[in-house]
Amino acid sequence: MSVSRYLELVKTTKRYGETTAVDAVNLTVPESKYVCILGPSGCGKSSLLRMVAGHEVTSEGDIILAGSNITNLPPAKRGTAMMFQNYALFPHLSVRDNVAFPLKMRGIAKIQRHNEADRLLERVQLLPLAARKPDQLSGGQQQRVALARAMVTNPQILLLDEPLSALDPFLRIKIRAELKQLQRDLGIAFLHVTHSQDEALALSDLVVVMNEGRIEQASTAHDVFNKPANEFVARFIGGHNVIETDSAKFAVRTDRVSLGKKSAGALPVNIRQIEFLGTRVSITVIGESDLEFSVEVPDRSFFNRPFEIGASTFLSWKPEDAHPLAA
């Protein structure tokens, strides 16, 4: 990889009056990688993306792309493209003209911009619908038009702000697979903001977990899930129990704890809730001092030896499955 092609944020900060939305963030986005910024509402992830796009003014710090400082450049001069959450398609224009619109703003001749629009529409499998208006398309088709329009200027990095949030769950899974494939085909970096843990884990080469304007952890999806940096990441990413002792705090995955007979170190618990989730069963148990734990077991294992709500049992885990958390 060429370092000059990286997107680099250097102490990037955004303030709105007395409120700090993004607090001196340092982040490197490698070339040709899919990066998801994940976090709860209000954590600063969208403000960060909009600063990279040039739609928000940076309060402090720098944004470097392809070796050039783009911090103070207008959006059209940055080498970035942004796909908005609501798609922002022009209702009076055809699909072809929607995709070609950024090239029209650059003074590109009609034939040339239509040829480029058609090339991208073919890539997202919408060329037969090029003459339609946006209101004649499904939500998923509109999303693909917005994606083609973002790509028509041949950006060095594509910025995506909650691009799948308006889709139904089935279509969301389908489109996210298409996004990942498109990113591989294009070979450029995608920087994707989401509040969905599943989306970030499924798509990302690098997951960036944010909280209160700061980065809590930036790592592979595998490491973020299996080695959360701290309690916030463990709880937000989900699928973990956070357990505190007198001397330490650690996380154990919900599928790495088990229920059964009393053993050394096992905790007495009572079954509070049971949820059948298809391939697995989620069991909520309550221990001493009303501490709550979650347990996930394969559906076959559960129905071979089912538990009843209110039953008493013991919760245990292997020492090697306990991941220590930073303070």
Q: 26: closest CA among 221, 233, 214? A: 214
**Share of residues in the chain with pLDDT > 70 (%):** 98
Q: Which CATH number fits domain 3-226: 3.20.20.210, 3.90.1150.10, 3.30.300.130, 3.40.50.300?
A: 3.40.50.300
* Range from 67-81, 163-177, 265-279 carrying the lowest mean pLDDT: 163-177
Structure-token pair, residue 162: 């909650």
Average pLDDT, the chain: 92
Neighbours of 276 (CB within 10 A): 11
Q: 76: closest CA among 110, 43, 107? A: 107
User: Are the beta carbons of 249 and 325 closer than 8 angstroms?
Assistant: yes
Residue spans of the domains in the chain: they are 3-226, 241-324
Angle at 252 (CA atoms; ends 203, 275), nearest 5 degrees = 75
Residue 53 above 60 pLDDT?
Answer: yes
**Share of residues in the chain with pLDDT > 90 (%):** 75
pLDDT band, residue 202 (cuts 50/70/90): very high
CATH 3.40.50.300 fits 241-324, yes or no: no
pLDDT given at position 220: 96
Residue 172 above 90 pLDDT?
Answer: no
Mean pLDDT within 216-232: 96
- The DSSP symbol for 266 reads P
Residue 2 above 60 pLDDT?
Answer: no
pLDDT given at position 190: 95
Residue 86 above 80 pLDDT?
Answer: no
DSSP readout, 109-121?
A: -HHHHHHHHHHHH
